[in-house]
């Protein structure tokens, strides 16, 4: 299910593509399969792959090992001289992997082997399943694949990615049998996204979405997956596809939770971000001007949704591209009007920055993003006013 590329030519393939009868390695067609067998070394590897549980498992094991090595390497400086809080060793007895620093826990509890974390999560989940523990216990044990039970911090970046592969490798062969197979696929997709590997995350979200769309009881998950996939497309520069998916997610949420629910408003925020990136500022502006009064009435007072909506509104009004400080030339249209717009944008973003500092604190990533936008808009205002002073119109 996760083998999204032909093993021979690496072209994208569907999960129903033809496969090797023995080891289930997938190909786009008989030509590639023949080539791979004769010149690609598959005649040698085929038996070994079959022995290790088939192509899907083999692929997962290999990718997991690589991802753990990347995570341990990235944490090497922080973990020097430390030991794993689970197995108490510096080097894992079996895999020989190094440690990761995965959460905010102080002292020795903040260091572990990804393999030890994974083993612990697997045991807890098996127990919860075998003893038919209630929903709460099931959810809690599943959370161990994504965060620390002591400090409750979610794992991030390459550590999350390694644990995502470990999770997938644990449940890859439960195809269609249990929900865990699909939940594991979601963990992997989130991990890849966390590590910035959007091109690897996107096909996994696509598979996940295809599955969820076939199961009416998973409707809620569909919209979440759509918005995550839309986010991957955005990072990959596939903006039109991203917009289309964001629209679907927004419409779905509006139907399921109501048009003024916070979930729907969050989808509107992502949608207008894409519109700005597509240079469709006026559409973004009108969408946000309708959504913001709804958010003021319906969002919790300490919610960050309102801040995020107003942040995009400031960018849409300024006419700047998202996250950039200049269009690379004098602004189009009447300079007088443009100056007024950018001044309005500056007022809005200034207010967003102040509220964010109070609400989320100066170190929060949103506050930093808002400050960055504020400085871009201020610089742009400077350019516009300078041009006006020089007599441009
Ligand atoms: Zn091929
Ligand atoms: Zn084979
Ligand atoms: Zn360990
Ligand atoms: Zn912790």
Which protein residues have their CB within 5 A of the ion that is ligand 4? 103, 105, 148, 150-151
pLDDT tens track, the chain, 393 positions: 467 788 888 888 877 788 999 998 999 999 999 999 998 889 989 999 999 888 889 999 999 999 999 999 999 999 999 999 999 999 999 999 999 998 888 888 899 999 999 999 999 999 988 888 788 888 899 999 999 988 889 999 999 999 999 999 999 876 555 678 889 999 999 999 999 999 999 999 998 898 888 888 888 889 999 999 999 999 999 999 999 999 999 999 999 999 999 999 999 999 999 999 999 999 999 999 999 999 999 988 778 999 999 999 999 999 988 777 666 555 566 888 889 999 999 999 999 999 999 999 999 999 999 999 999 999 999 998 998 888 887
Ligand 3 centre distance from Cα of residue 52 (Å): 24
Return d(Cα 45, Cα 22) in angstroms, integer: 11
Note the pLDDT of residue 252: 95
Helices 305-318/281-298 angle, 10° precision: 150
How many other CB atoms are there within 10 angstroms of residue 365's CB atom? 8
If 0-12 CB within 10 Å is exposed, 13-18 middle and 19+ buried, where does residue 40 land? Answer: middle
Return d(Cα 209, Cα 215) in angstroms, integer: 10
Q: Which ligand is nearest to the CA of 104?
A: 4
379's tokens: 């610089």
Return d(Cα 223, Cα 361) in angstroms, integer: 30
Residue corresponding to tokens 């079959």:
50
Contact 142, 89 (CB under 8 A): no
Helices first, then strands: H and E counts in the chain: 15, 2
81's tokens: 């001289």
Q: Which ligand is nearest to the CA of 152?
A: 4
């Amino acid at each position: 299910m996760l083998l999204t590329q032909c093993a021979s030519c690496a072209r994208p393939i569907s999960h129903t593509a033809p496969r090797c009868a023995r080891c289930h390695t997938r190909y786009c067609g008989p030509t590639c399969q023949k080539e791979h067998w004769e010149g690609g070394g598959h005649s040698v590897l085929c038996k070994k792959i079959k022995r290790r549980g088939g192509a899907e498992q083999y692929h997962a094991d290999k990718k997991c090992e690589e991802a753990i090595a990347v995570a341990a390497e990235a944490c090497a400086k922080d973990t020097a001289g430390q030991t794993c809080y689970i197995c108490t060793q510096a080097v894992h007895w079996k895999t020989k992997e190094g440690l990761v620093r995965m959460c905010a826990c102080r002292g020795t509890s903040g260091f572990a082997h990804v393999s030890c974390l994974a083993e612990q999560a697997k045991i807890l989940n098996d127990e919860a399943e075998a003893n038919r523990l209630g929903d709460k216990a099931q959810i809690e044990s599943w959370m161990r694949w994504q965060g620390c039970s002591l400090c409750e911090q979610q794992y991030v970046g390459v550590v999350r990615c390694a644990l995502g592969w470990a999770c997938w490798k644990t449940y890859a062969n439960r195809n269609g049998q249990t929900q865990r197979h699909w939940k594991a696929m979601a963990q992997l997709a989130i991990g890849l996204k966390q590590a910035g590997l959007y091109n690897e995350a996107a096909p996994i979200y696509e598979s996940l979405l295809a599955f969820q769309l076939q199961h009416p009881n998973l409707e809620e998950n569909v919209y979440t997956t759509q918005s995550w996939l839309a986010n991957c497309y955005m990072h990959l520069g596939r903006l039109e596809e991203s917009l289309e998916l964001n629209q679907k997610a927004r419409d779905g949420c509006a139907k399921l939770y109501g048009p003024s629910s916070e979930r729907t408003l969050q989808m509107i925020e992502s949608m207008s971000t894409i519109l700005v990136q597509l240079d469709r500022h006026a559409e973004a502006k009108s969408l946000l001007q309708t959504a913001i009064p709804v958010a003021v009435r319906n969002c919790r007072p300490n919610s960050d949704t309102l801040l995020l909506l107003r942040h995009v509104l400031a960018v849409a009004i300024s006419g700047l591209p998202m996250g950039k400080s200049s269009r690379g030339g004098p602004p189009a249209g009447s300079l007088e009007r443009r100056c007024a717009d950018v001044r309005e944008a500056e007022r809005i973003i200034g207010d967003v920055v102040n509220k964010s500092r109070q609400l989320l604190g100066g170190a929060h990533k949103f506050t930093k993003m808002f400050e960055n936008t504020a400085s871009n808009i201020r610089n742009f205002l400077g350019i516009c006013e300078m041009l006006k002073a020089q007599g441009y119109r």
